[in-house]
Structure 1
Amino acid sequence: MVMARKFGSDLSGTTMVEMAIAMPLLLTLLLGFVDFGYAFYQWNAGNKAVQAGARLAQISTPVAIGLPSEALTQSDVTKVGTAVPAGTYDYLCTASAAGVACCSIGGGLCKPENANQAAFDAIYDGTAHRAGMLDFLPMLEKSQVRIEYAASGLGYWTRPEGPVPTITVSITNHPFQFFFLAGFLGFGTITMPSMLSTVTGEDMKSTYTP
């Protein structure tokens, strides 16, 4: 009976047991902060990437080869400054998993012959003077980039040497892989929310090199 009382009142080792219970919870919480902090960093980097891509698309040769043909000739001065009706044109340019650019016109098939590969690569990789989308988000794939040139009812029909579209550069289906929580809790890869930046195009001069 005496031995039983001593065993029941013996508190040696309780600290070790409490630590064994609390440590996994504390470690999971700490590593969770690290993982979600890195996810927020990637999301922020993605937003910077679309802003840089939109700026490059705004000032350089259009990816959509047919876009310059949407402009009136400069000799037609009576129409300069006329607002563009929404839906007049809509070019959506993307890339395959292999990085081959293509553009669809008005929701049609995405065809490589409608796209300027060098212009798409310049927005993705950057130029000699400007950082591209890849510089801000190194794990970005070309197939996750979308570049749209559309007449939205804003802007003007033409300025000297080219059309002025509304340009939207976005990133879609960009994955995020948990590092620590994948091992602890079995979290898998998630798809980050789509990120986009919309700007009004400047003079889309085909001979301009940023």
Structure 2
Amino acid sequence: MVEAAIAMTLLLTLTLGFIDFGYALYQWNAATKAVQVGARAASISNPVVTALASAAGTANTALVGTAMPENSYSYSCTGAGVCCTGAGVCTSTLNQPNFDAIYNRMVVFFPRLQPANVRITYSATGLGYWGRPGGPVPTITVSLQNVTFQFFFLGALLGFDNITMPPMLSTVTGEDLKSTYP
């Protein structure tokens, strides 16, 4: 009886551990797919940054038609606030309906996702030109931050805490950014 109890405890712990780490792998894959879908949706949707259209403005007519320099702008937005930052300060407002459309596509693949976990960054990488009628051609990065693996069995039985996933991201080049998606 004693040997069976020891062996069953060890076997049960190992089996439940395998199940929990399999579930952690599932969570990782679901979060990765959500980021990929979010990046694709952001590349064909209206921007979540209200100031993006004016980033390649026509204020300096001497520059119109010349190549857009790298690092001329960068805007980063999360669903946690109404402000998008550029160079660490609030430079634009978040277009909440556009952000929600992208977020709603992502949450289908990863239901535990919260808007505060999603960061969308638009940055200049030398594509497009000054004065382009459709605005600049940004590189869009969608990333997840502060998302945790949740352990069900090991957390209850052995006291494992949830482990924070490393930030994951997907980067794509903006396409038309003027569609009526979704």
TM-score (norm 1): 0.78
Q: Which runs of 5+ in 2 are unaligned?
A: none
What amino acid does structure 1 have at the position aligned with 2:96?
Q
CA contact (8 A) 1:102 1:115 kept: yes
**Residues 170-208 of structure 1, C-alpha deviation per residue, up to 9 Å, x if partnerless?**
000012221100122110111111111000001222xx2
What amino acid does structure 2 have at the position aligned with 1:121?
D
Report the equivalent of 2:128.
Answer: 156
Deviation at 1:80, TM superposition (A): 4.3
Q: How many Å separate the matches in 1 of 2:82 and 2:14? A: 43
Report the equivalent of 2:180.
Answer: 209
Q: Which runs of 5+ in 1 are unaligned?
A: 1-15, 126-131
**Residues 26-45 of structure 1, C-alpha deviation per residue, up to 9 Å, x if partnerless?**
11111011111111101101
Name which of 1, 4, 8 aligns with 1:23. 8
Percent identity, aligned pairs only, is: 58
Runs of 4+ with deviation above 6 angstroms:
none
CA contact (8 A) 1:173 1:191 kept: yes
Deviation at 1:86, TM superposition (A): 2.4
Q: How many Å separate the matches in 2 of 1:36 and 1:92? A: 33
Q: How many residues align?
A: 177
Report the equivalent of 1:119.
Answer: 98
1:200 counterpart = 2:173: yes
1:104 counterpart = 2:88: no
Q: Which has the higher contact order (CA 8 A, sep 6+)?
A: 2
Aligned residue for 2:108, secondary structure, equals helix
Q: How many Å separate the matches in 2 of 1:101 and 1:137? A: 23
Deviation at 1:56, TM superposition (A): 1.0
Report the equivalent of 1:36.
Answer: 21
